[in-house]
Structure 1
Amino acid sequence: MNKQVLIAGGGIGGLAAAIAAARADWDVRLFERATEFSEVGAGIQLGPNVVRRLQAWGLQRPLQQVVASPSALRACSAVTGKELARLPLGRDMVQRYGASYVTIHRADMHEILLQAAQNLPEVHLNLNQSVNSYTEQDSVVTIRTSANKLIEGDALIGADGVRSAVRSQMLGDGPPRVTGHLAYRAMVHQAQLPKRLRTSEVTAWLGPHLHAIQYPVRRGELQNLVVIVQGPPPADLDHWDHSANLPDLMQHLKGTCSYLQDLVQHVPDLGGEWRLWPVADRVPVASEAQMAQGMVALLGDAAHPMRPYLAQGAGMAIEDAAELQSALSMHDLDVSLRLRRYALNRWQRNARVQERSLRNGRIFHATGVVRWGRDLSLRALGGRIMDVPWLYEGAL
């Protein structure tokens, strides 16, 4: 009889964990608090380190049907509009790292993982139930759900996001920290944009106290836009007037180039809207004990929420799941040792990505002499400074 793993959370991390555990010959019961599986309209960048994991799960074909394949990664000045550096993607990334660099709509990524999980008979998905708490006794972990049900398993994976209830009980380290950064996000149809505002590349616009990212998703039909600025979040996000976001955003963009301002202002003209999210994170993981204790482990944002300045939030969750599969497959070890092995093999890499994301944020939003030095380095070194071999190769 297979062992049973309980998974809290039905987002990208939770579904990836479910696929991984089933492929390790575990029965899976996943609990998602929403009444249906869905994802918001945002984009995700998937480096070759992540694409290789998805290919190993047999997901290359569904990926190819929905991703965009940007031709390059560019860094530009948000003030002058001039290109500072360019890193070719496409075949160059495949030759160097064995897989493509692609961009994908978050909803499409979620749907691919959901379909893969539903096709595995070992996976049982439970909607409208979250994991509220758990107990461990005699090699059994018992969860209490929001429906007040008690369910036993051999392991529990907390993949329940940045405000994880599983993490709260396991580590008791309070809520995530407010970063002082705000993300304005929008999605538009490329065909409705003027040709000069369409893109087949990933472009990072770097400016004082802000940066913007644009790239294609869904076979290039849509363009994902993100502008991250520094400032306090609205006092009440639940009742925040999202239609008021554009004037606020344009105020932040004063002094930026006409291209960026035109692009941002086209969103409501095309029936879109700017949605606002405050960016939250935690300090980098400091030890394996922050990712696994006993028969409970954390995965994805529950373990290592990070700022989006290395575009690896979803990627690290998928990498976590791949490592979880390897650990759960060690059938000669006790469950607690398997989870500890998972944490030992993941915490340092996750911490490095968290730290690099923090560093990138400071560089992207630099002012004064630091900004001048950043632009000079980008012009001098070009794509070499934008490439991240240790990340894309999958090393620590």
Structure 2
Amino acid sequence: MDGAKKQLLIAGGGIAGMAAALGATHAGWDVRVFERAAQFSEVGAGVQLGPNVVRRLQAWGLQTALQAVCVQPQRLRAHSARSGQALASTSLGASMVQRYGAAYVTIHRADLHQLLLQAVQGRDGVFINSGQPVAEILGTEGAVTIRTQGYPCVEGDALLLADGVWSQLRGAVLGDHSRPRVSGHLAYRALIPMQDVPPAWRTHEVNVWLGPRLHAVHYPVRRGEFLNLVVIVEGPAPEDMTSWDHAANAAALAAALAGSCSALRDLAGCVAASGGQWRLWPLSDRPPLTGPQGMARGLVGLIGDAAHPMRPYLAQGAGMAIEDAAELQRALSMADLDVATRLRRYALNRWQRNARVQARSIRNGEIFHATGVMRWGRDSAMRLLGSRLMDVPWLYRGDGACATGW
């Protein structure tokens, strides 16, 4: 395929796949996306995007589209899930823009996916194939050849796996056929119309509740029309771990929240009162990356959860996928290098940051769910140090500098 415009094949059309497609077209590549679902959509609820991620979206010219669907929270507050008492807070809003050059925003996951999809569809050289999962990688010598459900043979200059934590292709590329590990944490999530939320929580704020073996977070999405509520508790996962969504048992969640303060229990009760339903998401991840080989092998790269699935305790799952895509764009633009070397450069420039975010996410989960003396120490430290513990400069700046951020 020398002399022709380079072509990237992408397995997966979620947020990671759409971000990768957008980055690749900005690098001058043609893109063919193969998505398993018959219609391109993104399930889920809210996503938090730090300034490190918003800067990437701005660089792709998406600031106006982002502002039309997101919320820019003004403050982050932490509370004790047991007593309801305030522990600490830090300013977001204009303060984040001043410190890091971009806003901290909250957005519905489907809105983020649609924003990226529309941007990709507006680019030349993009071919989107829905209902066409990549079934097999046939060869990777000189070019990549794949088989999909509808095409016996498709050839490209490189292949990118963006098919999520339960990737069906990852094992063949990396030689690691292990399953993602079960965290023992379950995320109950729901959307509540803002008019059905108690007045005290109808704010443009992110609120976190920290309790023994559980925590909750809620914030506005859809331009402030809905409140996204997530409660994460420790417990056994359903047997079918490959299905992303499960009908959740509200009674089980109520039992888990029995020792929590009335404010949190009342907020959780708004889901049923508003006619909504809880959805259950068993959390799975993989150990932090140990080297660039976990993100690229020859002409095949991996992005987002296919490469580095992480727990949500740093709110950076979607963010790291978008950062990956921005770095992929830079690597694919290096026309003086062969394609395998470009993918190797992408992996070298990303694996350590992703590994650090994976490790910090695990650590945050232990802190959020702390019991006994550790919980007392956490609450005391937050009351004393406040916003210093809630800011994460190394993450939001996009560099590797050390920090004490939680």
TM-score normalized by structure 2? 0.95
Tell whether 2:183 aligns with 1:179.
Answer: yes
Aligned mate of 2:120, from 117, 122, 126 = 117
Q: Give, in angstroms, the shift of residue 64 of structure 1.
A: 0.4
Between the aligned partners of 1:326 and 1:240, the Cα distance in structure 2 is 35
**Equivalent in 361, 365, 377 of residue 365 of structure 2:** 361
1:333-353 Cα deviation digits (max 9, x unpaired): 000000000000000000000
Contact 1:234 1:240 (C-alpha < 8 Å) held by counterparts: no
- Correspondence for 1:67: 70
Root-mean-square deviation (Å): 1.4
Q: Provide the rounded CA distance (Å) in 2 between the counterparts of 1:239 and 1:172.
A: 24
| Aligned mate of 1:201, from 202, 205, 208 | 205
- Tell me the alpha carbon deviations over residues 57-108 of structure 1, each in whole angstroms, 9 at most, x when there is no partner: 0000000001011111111100011111101000110000000000000010
Q: Which among 19, 39, 57 is matched to residue 42 of structure 2? A: 39
Change (3 A) 1:137 1:188: closer
- 3-state SS in 1 of match to 2:169: helix
Structure-1 residue corresponding to 2:171? 168
- Tell me, yes or no, if the aligned pair for 2:246 and 2:280 is still in contact at 8 Å: no
| 8 A contact 1:199–1:223 mirrored in 2 | no
Partners of 1:80 and 1:367 in 2: how far apart?
A: 14
Tell me which residue corresponds to 1:51.
Answer: 54
Mapped contact 1:41–1:187 kept (Cα < 8 A) = no
Letter in 2 for 1:363: I
Structure 2 unaligned runs (5+)?
A: 401-406
Correspondence for 2:403? none
Any unmatched runs of 5+ in structure 1? none
Instruction: Measure the CA separation in 1 of the matches of 2:225 and 2:118.
Output: 22
Equivalent residue runs for 1:126-165 within 5 Å = 126-165=129-168
C-alpha separation in 1, matches of 2:236 and 2:149: 32
Q: Which of 391, 394, 397 does residue 393 from structure 1 map onto?
A: 397
Give me the whole-angstrom Cα distance separating, in 2, the residues matched to 1:218 and 1:240: 21
Aligned residue pairs total: 395
Deviation per CA, 1:265-301: give whole Å up to 9, x if none. Answer: 1101101100001000000000001110100000000
Matched, 1:16 2:19: yes
| SS of structure 2 residue aligned to 1:103 | strand
For 1:350 and 1:97, the matched residues in 2 are separated by 20
In 1, Cα distance between the equivalents of 2:374 and 2:127?
52
1:271 to 270, 275, 283: 275
Q: Secondary structure at the residue paired with 1:66? A: coil
Amino acid of the structure 2 residue aligned with 1:255? G
Shift of 1:168: 1.8
Choose which of 292, 295, 300 in structure 2 pairs with 1:296: 300
The aligned counterpart of 2:194 is 190
Q: Is the 8 A contact 1:133 1:169 kept in 2?
A: no
- AA aligned to 1:249 is L
- The change in CA–CA distance for 1:333 and 1:220 in structure 2 (over 3 A counts) is same
Runs of 4+ in 1 over 6 A off after TM superposition: 237-241
Question: Percent identity of the aligned residues?
Answer: 63
- Quick check: 1:68–1:104 contact (8 Å CA) kept in 2? yes
Q: Which residue type is aligned with residue 331 of structure 1? A: A
